[in-house]
Amino acid sequence: MKKNLVAVAVASTLVFAAAANAETTLYGSVRMDVDYTNPDAKGADASWDVKNEASRLGVKGSEDLGGGLKAIYQYEFGVNADGNSTGNPFNQRLSWVGLTGGFGTVAIGRQETPAYTFVGSNTDIFNGPITNPWSPSTEILQRRGNVVSYVTPSFSGFTAAGALIMDQNNGVPFPYNTANENTGSDSVDHYQVAGKYENTFGGVGVLLGGYFHDAQEASFAGNGDDIWIWGVGGTLTFGDFSLGATYEKFDDKGTGDHNDYAGYGLIAGFDFGANTIRGGWGRMEPDINSLESYDTWEIGFEHRLSKRTRLWVEYVDTEIPAYLSEFSVVGTDGQVKGGSNLALGIRHDF
């Protein structure tokens, strides 16, 4: 028995030593809140609920291959922290492997796209169920599978990136329903290029980014035309204040202006001690004059109990119809509308 215990101890030591040598990290985040949701639909009832807000469990790491070259990887799974005892508690968020060195970084697999990391993330700063609904790079392009990506090294603050997305079967929506996918012979459904500039001037941090995304032969008209999505965004930080803004455009080349819209927003934050106050506004603006624009207002307060644990409260009012499942109810007047959401939450990272 003692020999077995010694063997187990030695094996465990070797495993941990190997993991340390390979710089492997197990990490996770539990994010839960209590929500009060009030739909704007006529005759709809408000409701309380407990919700999971993108809890996740993952492993990431690297291996030094010598000569300045490293192998890198990441697996990250969404965890249904508010689920019951039946059903699958996991969903796939990220799963990729790549190489990084003086030439830049190449990665293959399911990844966050350059469109999101360079642009959409500038206004995606809230904790609750409604964070950045006006942004196509957040709602449509944030994570994609079957991606081959390349990111350059930083040249005096400038970084560029490109991505090929192959054989995708999740559509490009307006706002979030399914569109046709590429039926061409090359099986490359989407192209994406992006760039950003990041630097500090006199204590003011500046980040400016932009992207262009071509969804080949994905038009809602089914006529082989493309959908183009492009955007610009940035963040300014000065002392304890921060400002972020994005402007993005969805352009279905096969349907005229019918499905086209612009999405733009502005956020602000102020840190004091272990606290942060956030506010934001955004708009989805269809190109068709007969369709109304949809505004979203957000405000939130966050208190950090430690580096890993935080409490937060956020209130959001949005005009986007059916953005949350609670907003999908058809009113007594036959209309589906947006609504408001009050969320009180806790997040713990490990």
In this prediction, residue 326 carries a pLDDT of 87
Neighbours of 272 (CB within 10 A): 8
In tens, the pLDDT along 91-147 reads 899 999 999 999 999 999 999 999 999 999 999 999 999 889 999 999 888 999 999
Listed in sequence order, the residues at least 6 apart from 66 whose beta carbon sits closer than 8 Å to its beta carbon are: none
Which residues face 303 on adjacent strands?
Answer: 275, 311
In this prediction, residue 71 carries a pLDDT of 98
Q: Are strands 158-166 and 188-201 parallel, antiparallel or unpaired?
A: antiparallel
Q: Taking a C-beta distance cutoff of 8 angstroms, is the pair 41, 336 a contact? A: yes
Which residues face 147 on adjacent strands?
Answer: 109, 165
Q: How far apart are CA 347 and CA 350, in angstroms?
A: 10
Question: What tokens does 326 get?
Answer: 């609670």
Question: What tokens does 328 get?
Answer: 């999908």
CATH architecture of 27-349: Beta Barrel (2.40)
In this prediction, residue 12 carries a pLDDT of 43
Which residues face 150 on adjacent strands?
Answer: 106, 162
Q: Which amino acid is at 123?
A: T
Q: How far apart are CA 222 and CA 236, in angstroms?
A: 41
Dihedral of alpha carbons 128, 230, 320, 80, sign? negative
In this prediction, residue 8 carries a pLDDT of 38
Which residues face 59 on adjacent strands?
Answer: 26, 75
In this prediction, residue 84 carries a pLDDT of 65
Stretches where the chain sits below pLDDT 50 are 1-20, 170-185
SS (H, E, C) 1-43: CHHHHHHHHHHHHHHHHHHHHCCCEEEEEEEEEEEEEEECCCC
Q: DSSP label at 138?
A: H
Listed in sequence order, the residues at least 6 apart from 149 whose beta carbon sits closer than 8 Å to its beta carbon are: 98, 105, 106, 107, 108, 111, 113, 114, 161, 162, 163, 164
